[in-house]
Amino acid sequence: MQNRKEKQHVVRRVEPDSVAQEMGIEAGDVLLAINGEKITDIFDYQYLTQDEYVEVLIRKKSGEEWLLEIDKEYDEDLGIVFENGLMDEYRSCRNKCIFCFIDQMPKGMRKTLYFKDDDSRLSFLQGNYVTLTNMSDEDIERVIKYRLSPINISFQTTNPELRCKMLGNRFAGQALGQVGKLYEAGITMNGQIVLCKGINDGAELERSIADLTAYLPHLMSVSVVPVGLSRFREGLYPLEPFDREDAREVLRCIHRWQDKLYPEYGLHFVHASDEWYALAGEELPEAERYDGYLQLENGVGMLRLQMEEFDEAMAQLEEEPEKYENCGGELSVATGKMAYPYLSVMAERMTARFPRLTIHVYAVSNDFFGEQITVSGLLTGQDVIRQLSDKRLGDRLLLPQNVLRSGEDYFLDDVTVAQMEKALQVKIDIVKSSGHDFVHTVLEV
């Protein structure tokens, strides 16, 4: 049983120049109620604080209670950051998915990497995908009442029996019924299908896409991503990697549906993640086909957007050519195998434009998780160090931001940036995913 202190909504910090700061709210204060109602979680808090007039009851560290009457702009945030971002306990996943990547993690890593979340509140706060198996009718009613959107849903398949098998949950097929409620209420959704070879691809993928089009336009997009297979799968469901011809067939399916749906809805709706194009050896689609990049965090269109931003940044340099005439130096760039060809093209274009510049681009193989994992976001520090230790690095090594844990300076295997700098004897610059950031970091402008 939890103690009372664990259930308290304690203020961690107050944003500068915010409503909360103006009202005298401080770190360590405890939120007791809003408009006379107790707060269960972040859903309640965001809904109850959106009006222009709000009454906030807090308890100061001294034990004194303050009832604050606040006049503000509609939907203006109070500027309070709580110790617990959800203002409640995190909900762990009840499923036993045959494709779960966390089950493919080796032992001995930090505990947070083994936590399986399936919390609908993280869908709104962080863009996480949820299976709906953890959501009760009451949860769905709250989403509808509070008009919370978008909600990101991991469908995998619309075949109820197959979904039960894939998620290892006998209620997984039944949970699909919640989608209809969200659709009828006009809640914006995005979807995801993790594709497993011989299981939910082929005719099952065709069925899923066809079924999901019934939820247009409130279901704005559905991404199709290949299952990630690490080398730590002993004792798990036998899954096979996709090959080049498999990837090309998946793309043919997706492109057929895009061409069919776009004239009617103005949306391409179903999208292939970048990995499919890399595996198939096919060109990335043009920017317009991504419908405004609705699923960037799911690896859909990230490379195309980066290339578009790179082109823009290079064009902007030509507006003041004399400003960059002396740009030069020697540096290196390391990334995963999937992004390597695209970064190589960008590097070649930059060195052609700036003859005094030398850029070495290196593809780091994922020896830790296995060669099937090609995205940079799952690279470990030990792989980077080992594979670059005998390489020419120049004065700086550029690494993509997604190799680090969010907001931290360490890799999946807890190797820190400082440790890597010491091991490789080179200064490390972390580059955001933007093509603009790549150009500016290379040129140090």
Under CATH, what is the fold of the domain 102-298? Answer: pyruvate-formate lyase- activating enzyme (3.80.30)
- Distance between CA atoms of residues 150 and 273, nearest Å: 20
**How much is the average pLDDT of 349-357?**
94
Q: Which residues of 227-262 are buried (b: 16+ CB within 10 A; e: fewer)?
A: bbbbebeeeebebeebeeebbbebbebbbebbeebe
> End-to-end CA distance of the chain, in Å?
55
268-277 pLDDT tens trace: 999 999 999 9
Indicate the pTM of the whole model: 0.83
Position 372 scores a pLDDT of: 92
Position 41 scores a pLDDT of: 81
For residue 172, pLDDT beyond 90 = yes
30-66 pLDDT tens trace: 999 999 998 888 878 888 898 999 999 999 999 999 9
Q: What is the distance of C-alpha 56 from the center of its chain?
A: 33
130-141 pLDDT tens trace: 888 888 888 889
Residues of the chain within CATH 3.40.50 domain(s) are 306-443
For residue 118, pLDDT beyond 70 = no
Is domain 7-82 given the CATH code 2.30.42.10 in the classification? yes
Compute the CA torsion angle 146, 149, 154, 156 (nearest 10 deg). Answer: 110
Q: Which residues of 289-311 are buried (b: 16+ CB within 10 A; e: fewer)?
A: ebbebbbbebbbbbbbbbbbbbe
For residue 96, pLDDT beyond 50 = yes
Q: Interior CA angle at 143 toward 141 and 149, to 5°? A: 150
Position 102 scores a pLDDT of: 84
Residues of the chain within CATH 2.30.42.10 domain(s) are 7-82
173-184 pLDDT tens trace: 999 999 999 999
CATH code for the domain defined by 306-443: 3.40.50
Question: Long-range contacts: 258-261, Cβ < 8 Å, 24+?
Answer: 258/289, 261/213, 261/216
For residue 440, pLDDT beyond 80 = yes
Binning pLDDT at 50, 70 and 90, where does residue 325 land?
Answer: confident
Q: Are 276 and 194 in contact (CB under 8 A)?
A: no
Binning pLDDT at 50, 70 and 90, where does residue 7 land?
Answer: low
Across the beta sheet with 80-82, the strand order is: 65-71, 53-59, 30-34, 9-14, 80-82
Q: What is the distance of C-alpha 243 from the center of its chain?
A: 25
Residues of the chain within CATH 3.80.30.10 domain(s) are 102-298
* Of 253-262, 286-295, 385-394, 400-409, the least confident: 400-409
Binning pLDDT at 50, 70 and 90, where does residue 3 land?
Answer: very low
Report the percent of the chain where pLDDT is more than 70.
93
Q: Spell out the alpha helix ranges (H) of 319-431.
A: 340-353, 381-388, 417-424
